Structure 1
Amino acid sequence: TQMIEMIRRVMKRPASRLEFGGIVLTMYDSSLELTHEVDSEVRDYFGDIVYETVIPRDVSVSEAPSHGQSVLEYAPRSRGARSYVELCMEVRERE
C-alpha cells in the first residue's frame, strides 16, 4: 500500500534530519471492517512504533480548524479531543 511504502522510504534515508517518532492511526472508524484490516496490517508491519492511541473520525476534529481553533479549544469534551490528550500522554511516556 502507498502509505506503508512512503513510510518505508522516509525511514531508510540516512541523511535525513527527520526524526520519526511513531505512527498514529487517524480518522479511525471502529465500525468499519476496513479500519480493522488497515490497523492490523500497519501494526503487524511496523510493530511498536505504532501508537496504541487512535484518533477517531470525529466531526469536531474536522470543524475546529474552520473556527481557527484546535479541537481542544473547540470541543474539549469530544472524543477527538480526549484522544489527542491520550496520545500526548502516550508520546510523553515513550520519551
Structure 2
Amino acid sequence: MKNAIDHTALNQHNIDYVLIDCPPSLGLLTVNALVAAREVLLPIQCEYYALEGVGQLLRNIELVQAHLNPSLHVSTILLTMYDGRTKLAGQVADEVRNHFGAVVLKTIIPRSVKVSEAPGYGLTVLEYDPASRGAMSYLDAGKEIAERGAATVKVRER
C-alpha cells in the first residue's frame, strides 16, 4: 500500500521539516498526523511513568504502520525533563539508549523552570529566555536533528 500523502507541494517550497505536535493518545488528531508523517520524533520524559506510556505509543504507531502508513517510522527520540540530581533520570536515559540505540539524540533537555514557565506566557522557551539552559538545549537538539538529516541526504545522493 502506497502512502496516500503527496509531499510534492512541500518539496516545491524547499521545506526541510514540518513538525506536527500532538498528544500521544490514539485520537483522531494523532492518527491523522501519523498517516501524514514519514517519521516520528518521540520526546520521552526521564521519569518512570513515561517509560510505561512509550510502550503503548509504540503499539499505536505499529497499528498505523500496519493499516494506514507503512512507511512511518520512529526516527528520533529526544530525552526531556532530565534532572541530573536523581538516579532515576539517569536510569531512564540509560534504558532508553540501550533499547532504542542510535535513534536517541545525544542532546538531553534538562528539567527547567524556564521551559515550564514559557507556555504560560504564550511563548516558546526560545522567546521567553533564549539564554536559559532549556532554550540552549533545544537549539542543540535542533542542530543535531539537522546534522542527521544532512548526513542522510549525503548517503542517499551517493
Are the structure 2 counterparts of residues 61 and 48 from structure 1 closer, same or farther at C-alpha, using a change threshold of 3 Å?
A: same
**Structure 2 residue aligned with 1:59:** 113
1:93 to 147, 150, 153: 147
- Aligned counterpart, 2:58: 8
CA RMSD of aligned residues (A): 1.7
Percent of pairs identical after alignment? 43
CA deviation digits over 1:30-86, x for unaligned, max 9? 111001110111100000011110110000000001111110010000000000000
The answer to whether 1:26 aligns with 2:80 is yes
1:3 and 1:52 mapped to 2: Cα distance?
22
Give 2:132's match in structure 1, choosing from 63, 78, 92: 78
> What is the TM-score when the length of structure 1 is the normalising length?
0.88
Between Structure 1 and Structure 2, whose CA radius of gyration is higher? 2
Q: In structure 2, how many angstroms separate the alpha carbons of the residues matched to 1:53 and 1:22?
A: 11
Uncovered stretches (5+) of structure 2, i.e. residues with no partner? 1-50, 150-158
Number of residues paired by the alignment?
Answer: 95
User: Which runs of no fewer than 5 residues in structure 1 stay unpaired?
Assistant: none
2:32 alignment counterpart = none
One-letter code aligned to 1:75: D
